[in-house]
Amino acid sequence: MARIRIERVSRRFGGVTALEDLSLDIAHGEFLVLLGPSGCGKSTLLRTIAGLLAPDSGRILLDDSDVTDLPARDRGVAMVFQSYALYPHLSVARNIAFPLRARRTDRAERDARVAEVGAALGLSGLLDRRPRELSGGQRQRVALARALVRDPAAFLLDEPLSNLDARLRTSTRAELTELHRRLGSTFVHVTHDQVEAMTMATRIALLDGGRLEQVGAPHEVYDRPESAFVAGFLGAPPMNLLPARLAERDGALHAVADGVDIPVGLPVEQPEGSTAAEDSGRDVLLGVRPEQLSVRRDGAPGGGLRGRVRLLENLGGEEVAHCLVGGIRVAVRGTRPLGVAVDDPLALDCPSEFVHLFAPTSGRRLERRARDRIHVPI
Amino acid sequence: MSALVEVARPAPPGALLPQRVRRRRRTVAPYLYLAPGLVLLAVWVYRPLAQTAQLSFLSWNLLPTSPAVPVGWDNYARLFALPDFGASVLRTLGLIAGLLPFTLLVPVLVALAARRVSGRAARAYQALVFAPLLVAPVAGAAVWSWLLEPRAGLVNRALGTQANWLQEPGPAQLAIVVITGWHVLGFAVLIVSAGLTGINADYADAAAVDGATPGQTTRWVVLPLLSPTLGFLGLMTVLLAAQWSFPLVDTLTGGGPIDATTTVYYLLWDYAFGSFDAGLGAAAGMVFFAGFGVVALLLVGLTERLVVHDS
């Protein structure tokens, strides 16, 4: 039962910056997923919360107490490691009992807790086995049982599903979500798997290069990515990003590039005393999700994006067409069959409400402010 | 009649090499890889062993001009009749017991302490501990004989004692144990350090998160996971203690005083090259070979049962 606050934490390893001035407030009872590519600092952040790594600067607060200088054993958080780190010389029962033994809980209570937690996770028949006699899924549950046995303030999970096969991962995902719902504790889960993040999280914190790119509910992060990095990380295939320039067409702003001419859903603003439309001529990064693009059937002229099909991928129920639009790869995803063939020219449309704009240098999202100006959100 | 037809399974793959050829290829390859090692073993270990066995049934004074006379089991009978044999075995056991702290206890303490030192200091520290192993035993022994000199020696002056270290049985035995221990300590520390490095750091991290103090982590997690290394070092000590001490015994005490430092290795060397009784030396060698073989088998079986292996 804990709120975790990370305040301006930085950490360097030699010349590499793992965390840079990072702040994050994790509310009590949240299932927060730290998501990002390898080397983004997500595991470093988790180990800093656990107390296994000291930050170079900044503070970690558990509830309202500063635990920055508190050793891991006194923080009262539990952690599940990617390797599970089950003590190989101890039986399952003694592995689960380890946190209680370290706290000098008396034997009768220890045995009762182990039996209880073991039963809850379906480990009752395995308590006398050694870790090496267990399957991957069983080991994962023992690691979870060891975390559960002492009612920790928060659960820190470091890629706990990455060593499971695909089918087991899907079922374990659901079990973890169910466990979180039942316990109501704070969970911090590190992963590089966007499906895990989208399905399990109440909030996702996306990291890149030791910095937060965006924090929000899964639908917010997916539907309204705040940076080109977030847009390009989520989705399979991820959002198409094309460099373009804004131009005025019949009183509306269009994103224009080689093979691209698409309305961006913004009316043209004409500042007083000026004949040129504001924002016209500005360079942008145009973002469109593959599933929002539709193939123009009738071969009619027009279409926001025009290109040629290079490759078709059959996903079973769906199909992905990889196209080249003005030299840039653009993926289109839709129900199979899409009705196109390799080397076909094709025209693609996208409703303007699904068109995203990003600043080409900073990569941050461009939006119209309340005053109806395009601006870079801070 | 049904109009439904079952879809056929995918067709089996095409022709394979005949089974016999494939099997022969698979059986020959491992022996080819083993061949160089086997040849070296045969030339440098098994051939001398066979020659020793042969020699143990002959009476010969090592002179090329005098003939070696077959004497049957006579050498073995003499060996067991002589009192030296049992006494040297007991002394060897004492030496092993004296060396175990230097190969197990001290290395673990030093290696655990060395983990807290980092960077360049750690390297210097390791080099200091390892250095004695690089000193040739005979050169080390020469320096030690000056240090242990009864009147002007540094050891007596530092300790304020008047012991005649190498000429009294008790002190001589102690000196041999300590000097051998000093010599192999670096090697043992190196092995233990390597063992510690081989333990996945996640275990100690997990123990810390689970609430264990550093002391508990060492006792409950690190030492059990170090047990294969400690088992190996224990085995090495039992089997090799007498060999490690041999050059020091030979240089410092010559097996004396009154045979107080004569271990099994020194005894068999003394029989062969001190008393020029090659047959008796070879017989002692064969008996110790068989004895150490049995001890090694027992110890390997014991450590296999006691130690835990990280899967």
3-state secondary structure of A85: coil
Give pLDDT < 50 ranges for chain B. none
C-alpha span between A47 and A158 (Å, rounded): 9
Q: How far is A361 from chain B (nearest CA, A)?
A: 40
**Cβ contact, residue pair B208, A131, below 8 Å:** no
Q: How far is B223 from chain A (nearest CA, A)?
A: 11
Q: How far is B212 from chain A (nearest CA, A)?
A: 5
Contacts of B17 (CB under 8 A, 6+ apart): none
Q: How far is A249 from chain B (nearest CA, A)?
A: 59
Radius of gyration of chain B (CA): 28
Residue type (1 letter), A197: A
Confidence of residue A321 (pLDDT cuts 50, 70, 90): very high
Predicted pLDDT of residue A59: 92
pLDDT: which is higher, A194 or B155 = A194
Average pLDDT over residues A140-147: 92
What ipTM was assigned to the predicted interfaces of this complex? 0.82
Record the pTM.
0.80
Residue to substitute from A89, A129, A134, interface B, most B β-carbons within 10 A: A89
Predicted pLDDT of residue B172: 81
C-alpha span between A89 and A92 (Å, rounded): 10
Write down all domains in chain B, each with its CATH number in brackets: 83-306 (1.10.3720.10)
Predicted pLDDT of residue A298: 63
Average pLDDT over residues A89-112: 90
A-chain CB neighbours of B220 within 8 Å are: 87, 98, 101
Residue to substitute from A87, A90, A134, interface B, most B β-carbons within 10 A: A87
A-chain CB neighbours of B212 within 8 Å are: 73, 98, 102
B59 alpha carbon, distance to own chain's centre: 32
Question: What is the DSSP code string of A109-149?
Answer: HHHHHHHHHHHHTT-GGGTTS-GGGS-HHHHHHHHHHHHHT
Q: Which two tokens stand for residue A119?
A: 């039963």
Q: How far is B12 from chain A (nearest CA, A)?
A: 26
Of B203, B209, B227, the CB nearest to A72: B209
**Cβ contact, residue pair A78, B209, below 8 Å:** yes
Question: What is the DSSP code string of B125-161?
Answer: HHHHHHHHHHS-HHHHHHHHHHHT-TTT-HHHHHHT-
Contact (CB, 8 A) for A176 and A11: no
Average pLDDT over residues A18-31: 92
Identify the sign of the CA torsion A164, A168, A170, A175: negative
How confident is the model over B230-253, as pLDDT tens digits? 888 988 898 888 888 888 888 878
A-chain CB neighbours of B118 within 8 Å are: none
Instruction: Please report which helix (H) or strand (E) contains residue B241, including its range.
Output: helix B223-252
Predicted pLDDT of residue A227: 94
Of B207, B209, B311, the CB nearest to A88: B311
Of B210, B224, B227, the CB nearest to A98: B210
